Structure 1
Amino acid sequence: MTSEGTQARDARQDDGASDRVLTVPNALSALRLVGVPVFLWLILSEQDGWALLVLMLSGVTDYLDGKIARRFGLVSKVGALLDPLADRLYILTTLLGLAWREIIPWWLVALLLGRELFMALVLLWSRSRGHATLPVHFVGKAATFNLLYAFPLLLLGDGDSGWAEAARAIGWGFAWWGTALYWVAGVLYAVQASRLPRRDPSAASGSKVRG
């Protein structure tokens, strides 16, 4: 997956996001969601080449939906929900698949899922004070970038060849940086939420926190 995927998510944060549902960018995001169970099945059945292909196609559609939305004024609120949801699901399915195959330890899965639970609590606190969203932080984007690169490399590293060893080493580098930044971003979001003034919930608008 490429870092341009974050541009798609940034574009959907614009105040001018429409309520349209049937758009090309939204169709691409929906296609990414459809690919999630296929991707998980391919990982669990150890069809790594096809799994990586699905992951690459997901990255391409992630890039295209944002470019198309920005170029043709098709930024929508539905897209703002679908895109980060697809990212989360790909991260979750990859985590579970790699842990099931003993490529990564289960405690790493717990560490990353624990961060998601922490962020859910932060968002609940934010919404209790009338804020539907928090500003997206670049640290969160960097964390997601690292993790989305780490998992394919770790999958490629499941072997004994020289290429596999190199991919495994680089993948773990991305994984450790991504995990650390994931939690740092969570703490930064919690600090942001703690400083929010209470306001009328009806005034809250925008896209969900990602990263």
Structure 2
Amino acid sequence: MKITARDFFTVPNSLSYIRLLLIPVFMIQYLTAVETKDYYLVGIIIVFSGLTDLLDGIIARKLNQITELGTLLDPVADKLTQVAVIICLMSRYEMMWLIVLLFIAKELFMAINDIILYRQGKKLDGAKWFGKIATAVFYACMTFLVAFPSIQTTTAASLMIITGFFLTLSFVLYGREFFKMYQK
């Protein structure tokens, strides 16, 4: 892996830095929110973070700015943002611990298999469509939970179930991808 000084200053990597910097802003804003407008602002922060995630990939491909640093930085910023959202929502929604367990299981599974396969000279070629959909659904559902904290319990539970379904789907389909890679 070769990371150059130039890699640090690409537009896509700069967007990942912005996402990382938004994490403490989001957490502080959410945990200190009192009024409805405070929660809307937190929702806007999550939407903005999600848009930077979408844009950094598009820009990296369009401008041919895919870097080794970016392939590390982007998923780290994404996962840390998701963890921050989940942690904050745990303070409000009891069922969120199920999302936490599923998220941790999926990410550990992914990391362990990535390491094992990397040692065998194999590498998963970036995020798959089902991983991208799971991330988009996560952001959509969690943004709704963040921005509208007074929604009905059944609506909140439904959003968590939808998120859990897509996390599980992604988990299973990545498992299939890893299985295929082990077979090669």
Q: TM-score, normalised to structure 1's length?
A: 0.71
Question: What letter corresponds to residue 174 of structure 2 in structure 1?
Answer: G
Aligned to 1:105, which of 80, 83, 96?
96
Identity %: 29
What runs of 5+ residues in structure 2 fail to find an aligned partner?
none
- Deviation of 1:126 after TM superposition, in Å, equals 0.5
Question: Over residues 24-71 of structure 1, what are the superposed CA-to-partner deviations in whole Å (9 max), with x where a residue is unaligned?
Answer: 221121111111121122222234222112112212322333343333
Aligned partner (choices 151, 162, 171) of residue 174 of structure 1: 162
Deviation sequence 1:143-173 (CA, Å, 0-9, x none): 222212221122244215xxx6796366235
Distance in 1 of aligned mates of 2:178 and 2:61: 30
The AA in structure 2 aligned to 1:134 is L
State the Cα distance separating 1:192 from its structure 2 match: 2.8
Where does residue 21 of structure 2 map in the other structure? 34
SS in 2 for 1:101: coil
Structure 1 position 86 matched with structure 2 position 77: yes
Indicate if the aligned counterparts of 2:130 and 2:169 stay in contact, CA closer than 8 A.
Answer: yes
- 1:20-59 correspondence runs (5 A): 20-21=6-7, 22-46=9-33, 47-59=38-50
**2:51 aligned partner:** 60
On the 8 A contact 1:25/1:74 being kept in 2, the answer is: yes
- How far apart, in 1, do the equivalents of 2:110 and 2:55 lie? 28
1:134 is aligned to 2:114: no
Instruction: State the number of aligned residues.
Output: 176
- Following superposition, the deviation at residue 90 of structure 1 comes to 1.2
Hey, what does 1:194 align to over in structure 2? Answer: 182
Residues 175 and 168 of structure 1: CA distance in aligned 2, closer, same or farther (over 3 Å): same
Contact 2:29 2:42 in 1 (8 A): yes
**TM-score between both structures, scaled by the size of structure 2:** 0.80
Within a 5 Å distance, the mapping from 1:150-169 to structure 2 comes to 150-160=141-151, 168=156
1:70-85 maps to which residues of 2 (within 5 A)? 70-85=61-76
Amino acid at match of 1:122: N
Aligned residue in 2 for 1:6: none
Distance 2:68 2:95 in 1: 35
1:146 aligns with 2:145: no
3-state secondary structure, aligned to 1:134? coil
Q: Which residue number corresponds to residue 184 of structure 1?
A: 172
In structure 2, do the counterparts of structure 1 residues 76 and 50 end up closer, same or farther at CA, with 3 Å as the change threshold? Answer: same
Could you tell me how far apart the structure 2 residues matched to 1:52 and 1:182 are? 24
Structure 1 unaligned spans of 5+: 1-16, 197-211
Structure 1 segments of 4 or more deviating over 6 A? Answer: none
